[in-house]
Structures are given as structure tokens and as C-alpha cells.
């Protein structure tokens, strides 16, 4: 009779041990979805609400305790800079008042998703994860991937390994850093890529895997406090192209721009009469940041000064004649954009200008962020 009793004890012990992990998994961390709209919610006949988006992923409770709130419900290109500021303040408020919150998920349209993500990377001052997510196909389209992306975003936001890695962009099974990721294709699902640095990690069926982390300052280490900022200074992006006119730059300055980002050819060259326009901007105290339109590459402070080379597309001097010199640029007015894409350099410059007008101090920020 003792053998059956032993079997019973072993069986009961196995049941108890088997149930223990289930009891722990029944209380996953709270993760709040803050919905702003975008293609992921743009269903034919009306946009999905934040609650409806959570309802698309019934398996989410295996990984997180979901919450939701509707911040906005519009296309990403219709989001204003004032709304960006409001959103950053709201996310900071949630973290400040909810110590139990494991992380946040923010939906966005993909057209400007990388811009919003980088702005939040600089303005949400908490180490807990913020995951920005979207979709390339809308909910009424065959092959809508939004539900899968949402589930993966919740999983990453709930992962302890995501803490301290800055704002993350999660789509198509991949985790990218907000600073590095960019939209590379207008239609394909694999559009968001971090070239040349690569993904931070992946979301697989068994677990969330991180391979690396960004070394630049962000989130909890950021110096940018937007709690009392109501407006961001005007900063425009100017593309360099063959024979471009400097009059465009002068007009931007006259319309009140406090900063200009140049998307230069190659490693900092301008074209046409753009150097004249940049000299005019410097005279007016407008800070100019030089980046590259090439898609990758670092523009140092020396190149950003405009003293490293001449103008792109300038005709060579005829034999026996002296080449016309481009207008000299005051070195301190020009900042090297490092490896930031032009649209992200604009975001950092806007925030920098809320603290200082000193180009040397702004250059320090571009080195650190």
C-alpha cells in the first residue's frame, strides 16, 4: 500500500510545482498603451480606439497586464509639435505617478514614427521602456500586421531587459533604437532599419532577445525638460542639390527660423549660392547644423564649420584665373550633426535651442546625444 501512496505524493508534488509558474505568470507587469492614431488604427469606416487595439491581441495577457488610453487618433503627419510636447509630458506623468508601471507602448503612423520616437527618446526621463509601434497595412487590409506588432511591443515593454535602453521601435519582429532607426521603404513591411548599426534585438516566439544597447545619452540621462515648454523654436531642413539657391535659406531666416539643418551632399558640401545663404544665416545668429543626405556617415564639427571644403558643383577656375572664393562662414555658427539623419538633427536642435544659443554648447549636445 505504500507504493501507491508514494505515487500519490509525487503526483501531488508535480501538480504543485507545475502550478507554481502559472501563479507567477498570472500577474505580469502593467503596460499602458497610449494611442495616437496612424495606419495601425485606420480601419475603413472609422479609426480603431485604444481599447479596440488592445482587443486585437487576446494573447497579450500572457506577457503584460494591458491598459489603454486615447491621446489622439490621427495620421502621424497631422500631429503638431505642441502635441509632441503634450505627449512627452503625459508619458513623464504616467511614470512619475505609477511606480507599478512596467512600460509604455505608443502607437504612431509610420510616416513620421522615427521622428516622434527620437523626440520621446530625448524628453521622456525614465529608464523604463517606451516602445513606439505602428503598421504598414491598415486593419481593413489583407495581411494586416498591426496585431502582431502590438503584441511584440507589449512583450518588449514588459521585458526587464528593455529597461535603460531608451525609446525603442518595434515592428516586423525587430527592435530598433529610436536614435538610429529610419523608414527605408514607402510600402514594404521591413521598412524600419538601422543602417549601418543594425537592430538592438528581436522578438521571437520564446523570448525577447537583445544583442546590444545604444551608448548615446537618452531618456533618464537626458537634460531636456519639457515640463514648462509650450512651444519649440522653428528649425527647418534644407536639402543640397545641384545649383541650389541660397535665397531659400535667406527666406527661411527672414521668416523667423532659429536653426537650420543642412542635408548636405557627401560629407558637408553645399551647391549653387547656398554658401551665401548660410553666411546670411550666421550673420543673423541662426545656428546651422550640417548633416548628410547620403543616408549614413558622420559629419564632424570641423566639417560642419564649412571650412573643410568648397561648394559642390562649383565650376573649376579657368587656366590663369583665380577661382571665386565662397563667402567665409563664421566657424562658431556652424555645428557638425555627427551621424544623425537630417530630420533627427532637427529635433535635437529644436530642443537644444530651448536651453542655449551657443553653437559650442550645441555641438557638445550633438556629440553626446
CATH 3.40.50.40: which residues of the chain? 235-368
Q: Are 183 and 191 in contact (CB under 8 A)?
A: yes
State the pLDDT at residue 27.
85
254: left (phi over 0), alpha (psi -120 to 50) or beta: alpha
CATH 3.40.50.1170: which residues of the chain? 24-221
Angstrom distance (rounded) from CA 259 to CA 357: 9
Q: Is 197 a catalytic residue?
A: no
Model confidence pLDDT, tens digit, residues 193-231: 998 899 999 999 999 999 999 999 999 999 999 999 999
Considering only residues 21 and 248, tell me which one the structure prediction assigns the higher pLDDT. 248
Model confidence pLDDT, tens digit, residues 72-106: 999 999 999 999 999 999 999 999 999 999 999 99
β-partners of residue 300 are none
State the pLDDT at residue 322.
43
State the pLDDT at residue 20.
44
Model confidence pLDDT, tens digit, residues 97-148: 999 999 999 999 999 999 999 999 999 999 999 999 999 999 999 999 999 9
What is 24-221's CATH topology? Rossmann fold (3.40.50)
Cell of 366: 550633438
Angstrom distance (rounded) from CA 170 to CA 40: 13
The distance between the two most distant Cα atoms of the chain, rounded to a whole number of Å, is 114
Model confidence at 17, in pLDDT bands (50, 70, 90)? very low
Minimal CA–CA distance to 37: which of 85, 87, 82?
Answer: 87
Angstrom distance (rounded) from CA 369 to CA 98: 27
Phi, psi for residue 173 in degrees, rounded to 5: 70, 5
Q: Which of 36, 39, 107, 270 is catalytic?
A: 39
pTM of the predicted model, to two decimals? 0.86
Cell of 151: 503584441
Angstrom distance (rounded) from CA 8 to CA 12: 6
CATH fit for domain 235-368, picks 2.60.120.10, 3.30.1330.10, 3.30.830.10, 3.40.50.40:
3.40.50.40
Model confidence at 303, in pLDDT bands (50, 70, 90)? low
SS (H, E, C) 215-227: CCCCHHHCCCCCC
Model confidence pLDDT, tens digit, residues 153-198: 999 999 999 999 999 999 999 999 999 999 999 999 999 999 889 9
Angstrom distance (rounded) from CA 234 to CA 226: 16
Considering only residues 303 and 66, tell me which one the structure prediction assigns the higher pLDDT. 66
Amino acid at each position: 500500500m505504500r507504493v501507491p501512496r508514494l505515487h500519490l505524493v509525487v503526483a501531488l508534488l508535480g501538480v504543485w510545482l507545475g502550478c507554481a509558474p502559472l501563479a507567477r505568470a498570472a500577474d505580469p507587469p502593467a503596460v499602458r498603451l497610449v494611442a495616437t492614431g496612424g495606419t495601425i488604427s485606420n480601419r475603413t469606416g472609422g479609426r480603431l480606439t485604444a481599447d479596440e487595439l488592445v482587443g486585437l491581441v487576446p494573447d497579450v495577457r500572457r506577457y503584460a497586464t494591458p491598459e489603454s488610453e486615447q491621446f489622439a487618433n490621427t495620421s502621424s503627419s497631422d500631429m503638431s509639435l505642441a502635441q509632441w510636447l503634450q505627449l512627452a509630458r503625459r508619458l513623464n506623468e504616467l511614470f512619475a505617478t505609477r511606480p507599478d508601471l512596467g512600460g509604455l507602448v505608443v502607437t504612431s503612423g509610420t510616416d513620421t514614427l522615427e521622428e516622434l520616437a527620437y523626440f520621446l527618446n530625448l524628453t521622456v526621463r525614465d529608464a523604463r521602456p517606451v516602445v513606439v509601434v505602428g503598421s504598414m497595412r491598415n486593419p481593413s487590409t489583407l495581411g494586416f500586421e498591426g496585431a502582431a506588432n502590438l503584441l511584440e511591443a507589449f512583450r518588449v515593454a514588459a521585458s526587464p531587459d528593455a529597461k535603460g535602453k531608451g525609446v525603442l521601435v518595434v515592428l516586423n519582429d525587430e527592435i530598433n533604437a529610436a536614435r538610429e532607426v529610419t523608414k527605408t521603404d514607402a510600402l514594404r513591411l521591413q521598412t524600419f532599419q538601422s543602417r549601418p548599426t543594425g537592430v538592438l534585438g528581436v522578438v521571437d516566439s520564446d523570448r525577447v532577445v537583445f544583442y546590444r544597447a545604444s551608448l548615446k545619452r537618452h531618456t533618464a540621462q537626458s537634460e531636456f525638460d519639457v515640463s514648462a515648454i509650450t512651444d519649440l523654436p522653428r528649425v527647418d531642413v534644407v536639402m543640397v542639390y545641384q545649383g541650389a539657391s541660397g535665397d531659400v535659406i535667406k527666406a527661411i531666416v527672414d521668416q523667423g527660423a532659429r536653426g537650420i539643418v543642412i542635408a548636405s551632399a557627401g560629407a558637408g558640401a553645399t551647391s549653387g549660392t547656398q554658401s551665401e545663404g548660410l553666411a546670411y544665416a550666421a550673420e543673423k545668429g541662426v545656428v546651422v547644423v550640417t548633416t548628410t543626405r547620403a543616408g549614413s556617415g558622420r559629419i564632424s564639427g570641423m566639417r560642419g564649420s564649412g571650412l573643410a571644403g568648397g561648394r559642390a558643383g562649383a565650376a573649376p577656375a579657368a587656366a590663369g584665373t583665380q577661382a571665386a572664393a565662397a563667402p567665409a562662414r563664421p566657424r562658431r555658427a556652424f555645428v557638425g550633426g555627427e551621424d544623425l539623419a537630417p530630420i533627427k538633427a532637427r529635433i535635437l536642435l529644436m530642443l537644444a535651442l530651448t536651453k542655449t544659443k551657443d553653437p559650442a554648447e550645441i555641438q557638445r549636445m550633438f556629440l553626446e546625444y
